[in-house]
Chain A
Amino acid sequence: MSSINVTAVSHNEQHPIDSFFHPNSMPSVWCPGCGIGTIVYTYVQAVKEMNVEPDKICVVSGIGCTGKIAEYLNFGSHEITDGNVIAYAANLAAKKQYMKVTLFTNNADFLVSSAKDFLEIGKTMANLLVIHNNNIIYCITENGAIPTTPFIRTSASNDFELPFNIPHLAKSSGAEYVARWTPLHAGWLKYSIIDALSKQALSVIEVVSPCVMFFTFTNKIGDAADQLRFYRDNSVMKQYEPTEHLDLRSKREVIIGKFVDKKEF
Chain B
Amino acid sequence: MSVEIHIINERCKGCKICVEVCQADVLDIDEKPNTSGYNPPCVKTLEDCTICGLCEMLCPDFAIRVSCIEGENKQ
Q: Is the CB of A228 within 8 A of B62?
A: no
Main secondary structure of the interface of B (DSSP, over half): mixed
Please indicate which of the listed interface residues A28, A37, A183 has the most CB atoms of chain B within 10 Å of its own CB.
A37
Whether, in the assembled complex, B58 has its beta carbon less than 8 Å from a beta carbon of chain A, the answer is yes
- Residue in A3, A6, A13, A30 whose CB lies within 8 Å of B8: A13
Main secondary structure of the interface of A (DSSP, over half): mixed
Q: Is the CB of A187 within 8 A of B57?
A: yes
Question: Closest chain B residue to A36 by CB distance?
Answer: B60
- Residue in A9, A12, A33, A184 whose CB lies within 8 Å of B10: A12
CA distance A183 to B4 in the complex (A): 25
Q: Is the CB of B6 within 8 A of A5?
A: no
A-contacting residues of B (Cβ < 8 Å)?
Answer: 1-11, 13-17, 19-21, 38, 42-43, 46-47, 49, 57-63, 65, 73-74
Not counting A4-B3, A7-B74, A41-B59, a sample of 14 additional A-B residue pairs whose C-beta atoms are within 8 angstroms of each other reads: A6-B47, A7-B3, A7-B4, A7-B46, A8-B5, A32-B38, A32-B60, A37-B61, A186-B58, A223-B15, A224-B16, A225-B15, A228-B58, A229-B20
* Closest CB pairs A-B (n = 5): A37-B60, A33-B15, A32-B13, A32-B15, A225-B20
